[in-house]
Amino acid sequence: MFTLSGLAETLLWGVATGCIYILLATGLNIIFGVMKLVNFAHGELLVIGAFIAYTSSTVAGMNAYVSILVAIVAVALIGIAVERLTFRKVLGTEKLNEIFVSLGLIYVLQNAAVLVWGEKSKQIVSPVQSLSLPLGDISVRYDLISAVIIVAAILIFLMLFMKKTKMGLAMRATSQKSDASMLMGINIERVYIFTFALGAALAGAAGALFGILFPFNYLSGGLPTIKAFAIIILGGLGSIRGAVVGGLLYGIAEETAGFFLGGIWKDAIAFALLIAVLIVRPTGIFGEKGE
């Protein structure tokens, strides 16, 4: 049934899912920009982040929003382990090897998650779960508002970090030309570890927010990963601002397509958009030549 308030609510949910996609896409984008590495298992890090936040909020009795920090730290550590043990070994070999390794990681992380946390869907209980802000015909959940604020804060922090700190500078240099920055005395090894940890931390934050807004289970990571890739392609490689615009557009397009055409079209429309863009521009909207 078409109503204006229904549409407004759809758009709001589009913004919310968009926010989570933005965090995931930004993490992937940083990893891809600096390491030229494609990590299809990024969404599994999101799921693990959500599970860790769930455990620390229900079992350890933490506030849901504090548990986001736990998820960030824990997933960053997992990220470091993953980078050291797997991707490090194939970096610089054939391009497809990274895709193969990340597919293997999907299986490993997904099944490890289900063995630890079980098959049932879960949702993180936040302190303001049932409260919402009435705005005319519609009401907005406080969780949704706080998620948007948290994502904005993380992104601003990230941009400042990339611009103002030495590590940020090293990362930007490495993403432009790794061998030249190596000759300039940048310890690429450390930059790589840090980059992967940062990308994983963003996935952890995205996971915790995802768990607060939506119910999730061990399979929830697959589609967000693919969508995050689509956002990177739409928004442009290496640009955080592009990921923000792309993520919001994508989230809204997806929810609106679901609203007008029915739920099963959600994913298909999003991919159709992506394919249409790639047919016209095979390296993405803002993509560079070469890669």
Q: Give the footprint of other proteins on this chain (CB under 8 A).
A: 36, 38, 86, 88-97, 99-101, 103-108, 110-112, 114-119, 177-179, 182, 188-189, 192, 222, 226, 229-230, 233, 264-265, 267-268, 271-272, 274-275, 278-279, 282-284
Using the 8-state DSSP alphabet, how is residue 283 labeled? T
Q: What are phi and psi of 138, to 5 degrees?
A: -110, 165
Bin 89: left if φ > 0, else alpha if -120 < ψ < 50, else beta. Answer: alpha
CB atoms within 10 A of CB 140: 16
79/102 Cα distance (integer angstroms): 12
Residue 129 DSSP code = T
How far apart are CB 46 and other proteins at their closest, in Å?
16
Least distance between other proteins and beta carbon 245 (Å)? 19
* Shortest separation between residue 137's beta carbon and other proteins, angstroms: 31
> Between 135 and 261, whose beta carbon lies closer to other proteins?
261
Beta carbons within 8 Å of 243's beta carbon, 6+ residues apart: 22, 25, 26, 29, 231, 232, 235, 236
Judged by beta carbon, residue 4 or residue 268, the one nearer other proteins is: 268
In the complex, minimum distance from the CB of residue 12 to other proteins, in angstroms, rounded to a whole number = 25
Cβ proximity to other proteins: between 91 and 162 the closer is 91
Instruction: Please identify, using beta-carbon distances, which residue of 157 and 271 lies nearer to other proteins.
Output: 271
Residue among 51, 32, 186 at smallest CA distance from 115: 51
Residue type at position 101:
V
Q: How far is the CB of 77 from other proteins (least distance, A)?
A: 19
How far is C-alpha 129 from the geometric centre of its chain's CA atoms? 23
Cα 266 to chain centroid distance, Å, stands at 18
* 3-class secondary-structure state, position 176: helix
Closest contact distance (angstroms) between CB of 112 and other proteins is 6
Least distance from other proteins to the Cβ atom of residue 161, Å: 23
Buried b (16+ CB within 10 A) or exposed e, 44-71: bbbbbbbbbbbbbbeeeebebbebbebb
The answer for residues whose C-beta is within 8 angstroms of residue 93's C-beta and 6 or more apart is: none
- Shortest CB 170 distance to other proteins, Å: 13
